[in-house]
Chains A and B, each alone.
Chain A
Amino acid sequence: MTDTVTTAAAPADETRASLESMPLGKAITAGLRKAMADDPRVLLMGEDIGTLGGVFRVTEGLQAEFGTDRVIDTPLAESGIVGTAIGLAMGGFRPVCEIQFDGFIYPGFDQITSQLAKMTNRHEGDLQMPVVIRVPYGGHIGAVEHHQESPEAYFAHTAGLRVVSPSTPHDAYWMIQEAIASNDPVMFFEPKSRYWPKGEVDLSDPQAPLHASRVVRTGTEVTLLGHGAMVSVLLQAAEIAAAEGISVEVVDLRSLSPVDYGPILESVRKTGRLVVAQEAPGFVSVGSEIAATVAEKAFYSLEAPVLRVSGFDTPFPPAKLETLYLPDADRVLEAVDRALAY
């Protein structure tokens, strides 16, 4: 693959952090802009991403800056978007596809799981698929059906796909660039309820590679693990627990496939207790997989079974019931209490 640049490395002569405060959505915009400026083979494609700048305005301004050949308003067809991205990647482009909402990804499911994910394997390594699929996902926005789902497990379950989800503007800025630089297909799940709160972005230092999990709050009694929008819920729960005298460590998963078990196991060996939380339904989920693996690898360190907090195993409900469906700090703390009771 030509024209690949490693955007993760900071310029050697830059020693001082260059910090900028921005919302997560705009951090992705900035990351996309940087990746497009660095590599002329990077293309954006999706529904309403050009003139309108996307329904969440994540690509706002990029068509004016890079032109209609590089920021492509596609016909309304998800299978078409992903399928043609595969062909473009075969021609040496690095397409970044936007799926407008989580629940609209399924018309493209065949192209993602049966085609994109398997292409490198079928070519026995002779072909690479540097395609990124951006998916705004998750609840908390009070929207109608198909607009609040968390479908990440389907893709984590599919061999050949890398699956990541940033929780902060800083990670969003860097991880989108690292995803674009990857020669494998990357499912990039954007926690849409976190698009708007601002956070500091260090423009000079990514701080962690794409597939690293990271301790974001240290504690001693219980480890909480989650990804995307759930991380802010976990931090809120940790705050409440601290006020009640319970010391909680929080780990941001960041990468759902592959999972970086190092920091997770290290944390669990310290605290002896793990609660895994996610918005997605719990049955056959990323949280289930991690719970099983931690039970296998840290069995003798565990003081309690690994507990899971998740959306119920139902369709995402009508918006008026979403606060009941989505795990909040209370639901997490209920599990913390149970873990501590062992």
Chain B
Amino acid sequence: MSSTEAGRDVTTIQLLSPTGERVESDETAEFQPYVDALTDEQLQAFHRDMVLTRRFDVEAAALARQGQLALWVPSHGQEGAQIGLAHATRPQDHLFPSYREHAVALSRGIDPVDILRLLRGHTHGGWNPAEHGNFHVYTLVIGSQTLHATGFAMGLGLDGKSGSGDVEVDQAVVAFFGDGATSQGDVSEALVFAASFQTPELFFLQNNQWAISVPVSRQSRTPLVHRAGGFGIPGTQIDGNDVLASYAVSRRDLDAARTGGGPRFIEAMTYRVGAHTSSDDPTKYRTDDELQGWIARDPIARFEAYLRSRGASDQFFAGLVAEGDDLGADIRQRTLALPAPEVGLMFDHVYSEPHPLMREQKEWLARYEQSFGPAPTDAPTDGGRA
């Protein structure tokens, strides 16, 4: 495993080689039992989640190209890091994503169409975390959510909801962020607070090598995992395209954090195979050689090879393709059928209690709209003068 800036006194935990063989070494010995304990059903669930997420990604990218989304944010290439982590969490955990964590979202029970509602311009949120696997809403301002995660984790400590030693009950928090975000002050401040208050928290960094057009070498001259040590937080670098490494290291770290061990930090070395967003053109700043090198380390192809070596059938993989196509069709159909958002969305939830300015402006707008005569069916988005 190598990357542009890794390789200086960093051990990268890898449990599955790019061709799908188990890797065993002294450094990985402590993680093998986590993988050995997984059943074939569990392993196949890992694969299913990765495959369906990628199918969702393909469908969403197509919808964006067809002008049905304001924007699409691909997760292609990062499914291994995300699904390993997602399966390492426990139901009582809280997750604070950035905006590319689609695999984690689906794994925690988010309806993919709710993600598309955000990117189609129907909502700034999309789901109630309390009813959706404690998966909090996406945050678009880079790094801000790491402080929210840390505060939530501080609260768990204050409420005695972590640290009892019972992994089935103790809660933990995951803060997601990327290599670009590590330059933001908020992320450093989150690490300071987490270390000071010994929060039950995992900082999960997906280093996908690029912050839009800026390579990670512009954010850091040292492996980012070394940052954790400077804050007094144990850190581990993993092969982020190895779903088993992501699962095993995340499982260890989350259970350590939840049972009173304080915060942990994982740097998952992965790659943003797609564009930053559907508005971006990565050919302007990176080479095809680099891209192909990472595609050769694809997390899904690697895991398929591993499952086949364990005896998974053609039927299993064919079934996933069919399930993915059904999912894609369902996502497309339901996205295109989304009703236009109600005007109330703009005014009704700015404050939690009635507010005179909101009432006045909402009423004014209703009267103003009525002044144009009977509303056409798509009235809320029709700005034409009657």
Contact = CB atoms under 8 A, between A and B. Distances in A.
Interface stretch (B3-11, B328-336, B340-348): B340-348
Nearest to B386: A330
Interface in B278-315: 279-280, 284-285
A55 B285 CA distance: 12
A79 to B, nearest CB: 5
B218 A75 contact: yes
Interface in A291-342: 312-315, 317-325, 328-331, 333-334
B343 A51 contact: no
Contacts of B381: 320-321, 323-324
B191 to A, nearest CB: 15
Given A48-B214, A144-B121, A314-B350, A323 B382 contact: yes
Contacts of B341: 317-318, 320-321
Contacts of A47: 211-212, 214
Contacts of B140: 103, 144-146
A52 B71 CA distance: 19
A48 B213 contact: yes
Interface stretch (B82-90, B154-162, B248-256, B357-365): B357-365
Nearest to B281: A52
Nearest to B188: A77
B214 A313 contact: no
A322 B186 CA distance: 30
Interface stretch (B176-184, B265-273, B318-326): B176-184
A73 interface: yes
Contact of A314 (B186, B285, B358, B380): B358
B383 A330 contact: yes
A320 B380 contact: yes
A320 B358 contact: no
A329 B383 CA distance: 9
A144 B71 contact: yes
A312 B368 CA distance: 13
A77 B212 contact: no
Interface string A46-69: 011011110100000000000000
Interface string B94-135: 000000000000000000000000111111100000000000
A319 B121 contact: yes
B43 interface: no
A283 B70 contact: no
B29 interface: no
Contacts, number: 128
Interface in A50-105: 50-53, 55, 73-77, 79-80, 103-104
Question: Which label, helix, strand, loop or mixed, suits the secondary structure of the A interface?
Answer: loop
Contacts of A146: 140-141
Contact of B141 (A53, A107, A322, A324): A107
A313 B361 contact: yes
Contact of A324 (B71, B185, B279, B346): B346
Contacts of B214: 47-48, 51, 73, 75-76
A37 to B, nearest CB: 24
A79 B185 contact: yes
B118 A144 contact: yes
Nearest to B121: A319
A266 B66 CA distance: 50
A73 B213 contact: yes
A106 to B, nearest CB: 8
A143 B285 contact: no
B345 A318 contact: yes
A103 B141 contact: yes
Contacts of B123: 318
B62 interface: no
B218 A73 contact: yes
B142 interface: yes
A337 to B, nearest CB: 10
12 contacts: A48-B213, A51-B285, A75-B219, A103-B141, A107-B184, A145-B124, A313-B357, A317-B345, A317-B346, A320-B341, A321-B346, A322-B121
A-B residue pairs, 3 tightest by C-beta: A319-B121, A52-B213, A75-B183
Interface of B: 70-71, 118-124, 140-142, 180-181, 183-186, 211-214, 218-219, 279-280, 284-285, 340-341, 343, 345-347, 350, 357-358, 361, 365, 368, 371, 380-385
